[in-house]
Amino acid sequence: VIRHSSNACKKYPQSKEAKKFHDSLKDLYNRSNRAKKCKRNRTFFENTLKRLLSKRFHNPELVKIKKFLTKHFDEIFVFVEKNIDGTNNAAERAIRNDVIIRKISGGNRSPNGRRDYEVISSIMQTCQLRNEDFSETVMDELKSTAYG
């Protein structure tokens, strides 16, 4: 969302409304991200966001962002109380290699090939996160499937 508000500032560089909205949103995220370290309740941040969204925006990009934030309002500050990352950076990094491979190779030739690649890639990443050997995991699964 912050990236979208930053893009609105770039698209409309003369818009004080876009700049102010972006700065307010960025500040709110930074404060909420720091607050999760001290187990602060998310209500304060939700109320601050409500005040920000209560304004009427003229910039079409901000109207879209407001609509998105309003739709997903209950999900936005969950990270404050759950002590999880407030971004999707880890997920983006996790799929980065797969995206690069897909772009270099031109993708898969069939839906089945795509699905097979997704499953194998997912198993490989899970093994890596668990510090397990991929070959052993696959062999164990094949043996248990074959011998019941």
In this prediction the pTM is 0.63
Residue type present at position 26: K
- pLDDT over threshold 90, residue 88: no
Q: Residue 136 to residues 31, 142, 143: CA-CA distances in angstroms? A: 45, 10, 10
- The string of pLDDT tens digits covering residues 26-82 is 999 998 888 866 656 788 899 999 999 999 999 999 999 999 999 999 988 888 877
Mean pLDDT to the nearest integer, 105-110: 78
Distance, CA of 15 to CA of 12 (rounded, Å):
5
